[in-house]
Amino acid sequence: MHTPRRPVSVVVTTAVPLALAGLVGTAVAPAATGAPRQIEKVPVAEGTGGAVATVDADATRIGLDVLRKGGNAVDAAVASAAALGVTEPYSAGIGGGGFFVYYEAATGEVHTIDGRETAPQAMQSDAFVEDGAPIPFGEAVSSGLSVGVPGTPETWDVALEEWGTLSLARALKPATQLARRGFVVDETFESQTASNAARFDDFTSTAELFLPGGAPPEPGTIFRNRDLAATYDLMARRGVDVLYTGEVADDIVSTVQDPPVAATAGREVRSGLMTAADLAAYEAPFREPTQVTYRGLDVYGMAPPSSGGSTVGEALNIIEAALPDGGTETEVLHTYLEASALAFADRNRYVGDPDVVDVPLAELLSQDFADERACLVDPTQALAKPVAPGEPDGSYDACEGTGEVGLAQQPGQSTTHLTTADRWGNVVAYTLTIEATGGSGIVVPDRGFLLNNELTDFNFTDTQGGVDPNLPGPGKRPRSSMAPTIVLQDGEPLMALGSPGGSTIITTVLQTLVNRVELGMTLPEAVAAPRASQRNTVNVSAEPDFDRTALSALGHTFSSTAEIGAATGIEVLPDGRLQAVAEPVRRGGGSAGVVEATP
C-alpha cells in the first residue's frame, strides 16, 4: 500500500464558488439565479500557459484553474479527474481504475502508473462459469462478482507524490465544491441515466442517488452529490487509505459481498469475492512505457495489463513496413484496417497481466515481427477475417500466420480520457474508467460513487485453446484496451491523446494518429474525421459518414455503428503554442481550453 507523503509547501487553490447554503443530501432542482450554469463546450483552443482537454466543461475549467494558479500538468490531471467523478460518474470515479502516462520535461522521460483494478484473491479461472457454462454477460456486469479492487484513488496519490505540487486535499477541493454546489444536467447525462434506469432501480443506493423522485434528472436541472463531496472531504483529511483500509473500505467490501438489492428487483445479483485484505493489499505500480518509432516519431503508450500500447505500437510498425513511402488515402486506410486486425489477433493471443502471464512484449513491439506480419498485407485484397496470431518468437524469416484464431470479448463502452499540459512542458495523457456505462450499477451506500464491473474484462472461458492469457485469477489484473498515448518529436512532446470506447479505444487512437501523420490532417481534423474499427472481426465497424466505397472494392465488409470513441488530445504547434482538442460532436462534444488564448 502506498504511503502518502506530507503535503508539499507549494499550494495551489482554485477559484470555484462555495457550496450553496441550505442544501442537504443529493438533490435535483431547477436552475436559478446564482445556481451553477452550463458552460459552453469549445472543441478546439489554442494558446499558451497550459492546456486541458476533457469530455466535460466543468472538468476542463477546474484543470485550467489549477494551471492558471501555478499548478502543473499532474495537478491539473488529478483535479480534472476528480471533477469527472462528479459530472461523468457513469464513466469514471474513485470506484474504478485507469492508466496514467506522464512526460516529465525536466528529465525528458515518459513514466506510467498502472492503476488497473485487481481481482480478489479468492477469484479463480472459473469464477464466471456456473454449471459448466459462462454466466450471462449482463448478469455478470450487474453484480458484486464483477467488481475489482479500485485503483483510481491510489493512482491520484502516487501521481501527486511523485510529480505534483499539490497535496491530495488541494487537488480534491474544486471537485468537492462542484459535488456540493452541483452541475447542470445535459442531454448526455440524462440519456445515460435513462438507459440504465431499469438496473439502477434494482439497487436501493443507486436509485436514491441517480433516480431522485424515481426518474432520471432532466436536462437543465441541477444535480448535486453531497455524499461524494463528503467522501472527497474524508479523503482530503485522511488520505486515500480511507478507501483501502478505513471506513470507506469497509463499506466497499460490504457492498460487494452483499449488494443493496431492492425488494422489487427481478434480476439475479451475485455476491462478490472481495475482502478487506484485497483492498489493503492494492498497489498502483510504475510500469515501463511501450515505445515504437513511427515515421521518425517516438510513440509512447501503456504496457500490459493494458493492450493499448502494444496493439497501437504493433499496428503502427506494420503500417510503416507495408507502406514505407506512404500512400493514397485508400491505401492508407486499407493498410490501417489490415494492420489493426493483425495486431488484435496478437493482442488476443498474448497480452494479459504481466505479473501472472509471460507477455512477449519486446517481440510484439519489434520491427522484425511487424515486418513479418506486414508481408501478409495484400494491397489489392483484404484478408479473410478473423486472422490467426503470429509467433513473436524472435525468428522472422518468412510470412507466416500460425496458431488458432481467438476472438476477444468486447468490453464495455464507457470510459473517459483527459489530456493536460503545463507551461513547463510537462504533459499527461490519462484514461480512467469504471468499465460499462454505469459500471456494476451499484453505488456504495452513502458514499456517492459507483463500483466498477472491470472483472468482466476477463475472458469468462478459455478462448485460446489452453493458453488464454486473460482468464480470471487471484489478484490478477484484467486485460484492458485503454491507450493513453504521448508522441515525442526529437525528444520533445508533439502530441498526446486518448479515448474511451472499450476495445475501440485502440482503433480510435490508432486511426487518429494515422489521420494526423499519414494523411496530413490537423489534430482537430484527425479527431473529427469519420471512424472505422477493425478488431479482427468479419466486419469492420464504421460510423455512418465513413466512406466505404473504395475499401469495399478491396473486400472489406462493414457494419454500422452510431459513433466510435470520444478522443481528446493536445498538440504542440510549430510556434510553441498549445492546441487543445476535443470531440466536436461525439458523446455530446468535449471541452478544450488553454490558460491564455491566442489568435
What is the structure's pLDDT at 399? 67
Give the mean pLDDT of 280-296.
98
Length reported for the chain: 599
For 375, counting Cβ atoms within 10 Å of its Cβ (0-12 exposed, 13-18 middle, 19+ buried), the class is: middle
pTM recorded for the entire structure = 0.93
Map residue 438 onto helix, strand or coil: coil
d(CA 287, CA 436): 25
Q: Could you read off the pLDDT of 323-363 as tens digits, one per residue?
A: 999 999 999 999 999 999 999 999 999 999 999 999 999 99
User: Which grid cell is 14?
Assistant: 482554485
Decide if 565 is inside a domain: yes
Is the pLDDT at 551 greater than 50? The verdict is: yes
Decide if 345 is inside a domain: yes
Number of domains in the chain: 1
Known catalytic residue: 415? yes
What is the structure's pLDDT at 599? 83
Decide if 349 is inside a domain: yes
State whether the Cα torsion 63-68-71-72 is positive or negative: positive
Selected catalytic residue, list 14, 60, 415, 419: 415
Decide if 519 is inside a domain: yes
d(CA 239, CA 252): 16
Place of cell 459481498: 257
CB 568 within 8 A of CB 20: no
Range of the domain at 355: 286-411+478-493+501-573
pLDDT tier for residue 32 given thresholds of 50, 70 and 90: very low
d(CA 213, CA 446): 17
d(CA 172, CA 151): 16
- For the domain that residue 360 is a member of, what is the CATH number? 1.10.246.130
User: Which grid cell is 181?
Assistant: 454546489
Amino acid (one-letter) located at 573:
L
Place of cell 498538440: 571
Amino acid (one-letter) located at 479:
R
Decide if 306 is inside a domain: yes
CB 439 within 8 A of CB 104: no
Decide if 119 is inside a domain: no
Residues 6+ apart with CB under 8 A from 112: 99, 100, 101, 102, 286, 287, 288, 289, 302, 303
Decide if 159 is inside a domain: no
User: Which grid cell is 496?
Assistant: 498526446
Q: Could you read off the pLDDT of 110-159 as tens digits, one per residue?
A: 999 999 999 999 999 999 999 999 999 999 999 999 999 999 999 999 99
* Interaxial angle between packed helices 73-87 and 57-68, expressed in degrees from 0 to 180 and rounded to the nearest 10: 150
What is the structure's pLDDT at 464? 86
Report percent pLDDT > 70 for the chain. Answer: 91
pLDDT, greater one: 39 or 47: 47
What is the structure's pLDDT at 400? 52
Q: Could you read off the pLDDT of 387-411 as tens digits, one per residue?
A: 999 999 999 976 654 444 444 444 4
Beta strands in 178-287 (DSSP E): 183-184, 221-223, 286-287
Decide if 228 is inside a domain: no
